[in-house]
Each structure stands twice: as structure tokens, then as C-alpha cells.
Structure 1
Amino acid sequence: MRIAVYLPLLLCLLAPLGARPLSERCEPRLATSLLTASSLVLGTASTVSLGLLAVTGLIRIPQLAALGHWSAHTAQHDDPTEFSIALLAGLLLGGAVLMAARMLWRRARSLAAAALEAACLPARDGLVVVDDESPEAFALPGLPGRIVVSTGMLHTLDETEHGILLAHERAHLTAHHYAFVAFAQLGAAANPLLRPLATAVTYTIERWADESAAAATGDRTRVARTVGKAALASRRAQTLARAAGAALGILGRRGPRDPLASAGPVPRRVAALLAPPLPRHRALAAATATILTIATLATADAAHDLDLLLRTVGAS
């Protein structure tokens, strides 16, 4: 096995460095797509690479090599991969498959439960109002989906802000944001190094919904106020208030001491709404596409190398 098999693993080490730039500098819809694709493709590529390395170790064991009519002696001679590396790859592969399967099972159960709950909730135009003084609002995916809002949240916001809130939650449903989150988390489950990408997706879908609400209402400032107001009224009010106090005054260039550099997601969302809309940033999109292409081609090349190795040890 040549260097190609290690390239997807190396890219997974570097990929988290691009999560923040993509989420902060790129238009949210495009950023969500790029981050999700990166997590899924790199997670798959790294898992395949681990599988390829593990196979090179298995065919060195005479009892296992005999099952495929391979020569374990030839494999040890012709393959430069250390057996310890192949063994480690096998252990990591087992963990990756186990975590990915566990995540898929949990996600399938939660989506099925959400769909069932949504179907049972009485709604008017897809809206469910729950008598609860705690200010809450969320989109519940299903066939059809539901927007659930508590009376506490309705009392917190005025009539105009109600429309902004509903536009935000409808965007989650119509754009199927839960699917983006699920795919990004699947890649991160297979490779924990990609967790920053999955975390960034949970932020960019909120930014996507914010921008959808701003486009529907035509008032970015009002949407920013609604986002901040709803967040400050939630159970995380005290924590968010401390971060938002510094973030709401930041509208210019961000320097090295920029409070938003370490601020939470809500202050960053508010600041983004108070600034002009972000561009699609084709350079970042092209760079991401190039990295994913390299990972895919490297995985294909590594698979070809393994095929040649199996042919060699099988012919001996």
C-alpha cells in the first residue's frame, strides 16, 4: 500500500481547521452543504482507508490467507505496511463501524419518534401551541412536520416577531435541515476528528433559517433582535446575556481581540444578521471541492493498490 491510503486520514486531521472559516465567511446554505459533504465524504474515505490497511494485515495471517488462496509469505514480503499499523487500523475500523451503526440506530429511532409525535399533534397550518410558560420553539420533522411553540415564547415576542419566529422554524422543515445534521454527524461518528464539522453544521442551519426569515420579512435588524430576544428568554438566558452584551456592538472589522472569536452561536448569529449578507465565496467552495476530490481519488487509488496486492499474493 502506497501513500494514497494515508491521505484521507491526513485530510481528516486538517479538515477541522476549515470548519470555522466556512461557517463564518460563506453563505449559510452553501456552507451547510459543503460542511455536510466534507464530513460525510471524509468520514467514508477514512473508514475505507482503515479497512484497506486492515486487510493488508489479515492476509499476513496464514490461516486467514488460506481462505482466499493467498500467500501470507508473499504478502509479508511485497507489502510495505507494518503489521502493527494494519492491526491498529483494524481496531480503529471496528470502532468506526460500531459508532456509525450506533449513531444511525439512534438517529432512526429519534426521527421515527418525531414523525409519530408530529402526526399525533393537533395543528393549525402546521403550528402547535403548547401551554407552557417556559419559552420554547422548535421544528418537529415528520410527514408532515410541525412547528411547536410554547405560550411562554408567544408571550415573550410581539406579533411581528411571531412571524419571524415561524419563518425561521418553517425554514428548518422545508429545507430538511435535520437531514444535513444527520449526515454530518454520521461522518463524525465514523471519524471523531470530524466533529468540528458536524458542530459547524448545527450552527450553519440556524444561520440558514435566520437568513430565510430575513428574506421573508425584509428586515434583518428585526430578525436579529428576535433571535437575541428569544435566546435571552430561554433557559440559557444568563449565559447568553453575558456573551451577547459584547457581541451586539461588533459590526466592523474583527481583530485578534474580537469578542466574537470566542462567543457562542447566538451572538455570532445576531452579529451576522446585523452585517450585510455573506457572499457564496466561490474560492472556499472550490477549495473544499478540491479536497473532497483528492480524498475520493486517493481512496480509489488505494483500493486499486490493494487489488494489485491481492492479485500478486494470489498468483504466488
Structure 2
Amino acid sequence: MRIDVYVPLLLSLLLATVAAPQAGRRIAPALAARVLATAAVVTAAATTWALVLLALTLINEAPPVVAEAREDGRHVPEPVPELIGVAALAALAVITYRVYRAIRAEAATRRALRRLCQGHPPDAELIVVSSPVPQAFAVPATRQEPGRIVVTAAMLAALEPGERRILLAHERAHLGHRHALYCTAVALARAANPLLTPVSTTVAFLVERWADESAAGSIGDRTGTARAIARAALIAHQPRPARALGFTDHAVTRRVAALQTAPPPSLWPLATAVLALGVLPAVGAADATGDLLELLAHLFV
């Protein structure tokens, strides 16, 4: 346990600083987003569990446990220094608060987005808002409500007919591929493990790239899609609601440049390696769990 329990923390740093940038640049956006989101969630769960294991080692410092061990003449093992156990307990308290805040923020944002859609027919996919601010974004579906596309009149007026079709195809891709779930998953993973912040940023960019590629494929015009994104970015200066997947979000220059080249390959070997890197922390946490169970058996049996 002395080494295995720290493996998830070290591997999460490797995932964030090495694997995420490589996957974001070299793997097709759809595959890269899926792989990185999965790896982030598993890694965040493993690192949180590793902190739980470190905090549980404080059991052997509890006065009743120490007294009973001394009466029986048994040695009380110390798998990690007491200070580390205390630090892990404090980190768990911070993580709990961060995740709680992330969940509340997500719920509040979803309610705010739903309020934008109130008063419109339940089967209306497109909602045009009479606003001078050029914006366009997707509102994720819920169990009660379908996904919606919100576009302001100013945005529609600023785009040519062909560019409007690209915009709608982009937002439909967000809804059809449930990109909000990926963004929410990595946001919660980042709350549980701040080391994963670069992974969250990369996934946010990749879902936009994924929607770009989907729109370009459905329209059959990569250059036209790039031009529509660039044009919309020039006219959209106002911030859109958080968690709404917008047409002009996340590194527009990189997205336009990517659409002017051939679609990136899937590169399954690299994707598999990234996914394996996300699974390894769980393996380390599982091994550390076995070691802790042996410690508890030594204390109480």
C-alpha cells in the first residue's frame, strides 16, 4: 500500500499533462472525447478512493485500537505517516465541497436553460429569440424535455442561408451525440481531482470539433463550415450561458484551421493507450484496497 495508493495521483497528472494534449491533437474528435471523458471519470474515482484509503489508515491511531493491540501484545503497523492520513482526510472534505458545488451549479444552469425554452411548443427543436445579441447554442435534453437549439434573430440575420444550415447542423450534432453528458462528466471529474483540469478543457474543445466534423460531413463542405464558424465568431461577442454548447466556443482559430485539412484519423492504438492510462489508477487503487483489508484483518482479527 505504501506505493500503490499513490499511483492514481501520479497517473492523473500524466493523463492531464501528456495523454490529453496528444489525444486532442492526433485522434479523431469523437473518439478522443469519448476516451478522455471515460479516462477522466475513472481516474477521478480512483484518486478519490485512494484518498479514502489514506484517511482510513488513521484507524490504527485510534486509542481503542492501540489499547487493544497493546493488551494482546500485537504490533500496530503504520502503512503511511499519520500526517498523510490527516492531509488525505482534509483533501476529501475539500473534494466533497467542490463536487457539491459543481452539482449545484450544473443543476442551476440546467434550470436556467430550461426557462429559456418555456412557452414554446414541446416538439419545437429550434427556438428563435428576438434579441440583438448574436448567439446560438444547444440546450441539452432531460427526461421531461427534448433537446432544443436556441438562436437569436441577430445571429440568423448575420449569416447567409448556407451558413445557417451549418450552424443548425453543428448544434444538432451536440444534441444527437449528447455532448453535454461528456462535458458534465469531466466537469465533475475535475471537481473531484483538480489535476484533471487540462483534460476537462480538452474535452470541451473536442466536443466542438466533433460537432464541426459532423456538420461538415452532413453538409459536405469543410471549407464552408470553417467559413461559417469564423464568420459567427466575428459577430458573437457576448458570453453565452454556461454549459450551453455554442457554435462559437472554444478555440475558434484551431477549429477553423482543423477544418481546412483532412479529417483526423481514429488512431485506435493511441486511443487504447490513453484509455489504459485512465484504467491503471483503478488497478492501483484496487491493489491498495487489498493491502488495507489485510491491515484491518491484522488489527481486528
Aligned residues between the structures: 286
Aligned to 1:15: 15
Identify the residue that residue 167 of structure 1 maps to in structure 2.
169
Residue number in structure 2 paired with 1:198:
200
Which residue number corresponds to residue 250 of structure 1? none
Q: Report the RMSD for the aligned CA atoms in angstroms.
A: 2.3
Give 3-state SS (helix, strand or coil) of 2:97's partner: helix
The one-letter amino acid paired with 1:146 is: R
Matched, 1:130 2:129: yes
Q: Partner of 1:292 in structure 2?
A: 278
Amino acid at match of 1:2: R
Distance across 2 between alignment mates of 1:156 and 1:28: 28
Q: Counterpart of 2:104?
A: 105
Map of 1:189 onto structure 2: 191
What is the rounded CA distance, in whole Å, between the counterparts of 2:159 and 2:39 in structure 1?
37
Mapped partners of 1:6, 1:178: distance in 2:
31
Provide the secondary structure at the position in 2 that maps to 1:120. Answer: coil
Task: Tell me the distance in 2 between the aligned counterparts of 1:229 and 1:284.
Answer: 34
Structure 2 vs 1, CA of residues 24 and 75 (structure 1 numbering), >3 Å: closer, same or farther? Answer: farther
SS at match of 1:59: helix
* Structure 2 CA distance for aligned equivalents of residues 192 and 88 of structure 1: 16
In 2 relative to 1, CA 138–183 (structure 1 residues): closer, same or farther, beyond 3 Å? same
**Aligned-partner Cα distance in 2 for 1:62–1:129:** 66
Q: Distance in 2 between matches of 1:306 and 1:117?
A: 51
Q: Is the 8 A contact 1:72 1:313 kept in 2?
A: no
Contact kept? 1:103, 1:186, Cα under 8 Å: yes
CA 76–171 in structure 1, closer or farther in 2 if over 3 Å, else same: farther
Q: Which residue of 2 aligns with 1:261?
A: none
Distance of 1:141 and 1:158 partners within structure 2: 26
Runs of 5+ unmatched residues, structure 2: 240-249
Runs of 5+ in structure 1 lacking a partner? Answer: 238-263
* Structure 2: distance between partners of 1:194 and 1:268: 22
Which has the larger displacement, 8-17 or 70-79? 70-79
User: Shift of residue 71 of structure 1?
Assistant: 4.2
TM-score scaled by structure 2? Answer: 0.88
C-alpha distance in 2 between matches for 1:295 and 1:144: 37
Question: CA offset at residue 125 of structure 1?
Answer: 4.3
- TM-score by structure 1 length? 0.84
The alignment partner of 1:2 has SS state of coil
What amino acid sits opposite 1:299 in the alignment? A
CA shift at 1:119, angstroms? 4.8
Structure 2: how far apart are the matches of 1:72 and 1:184? 47
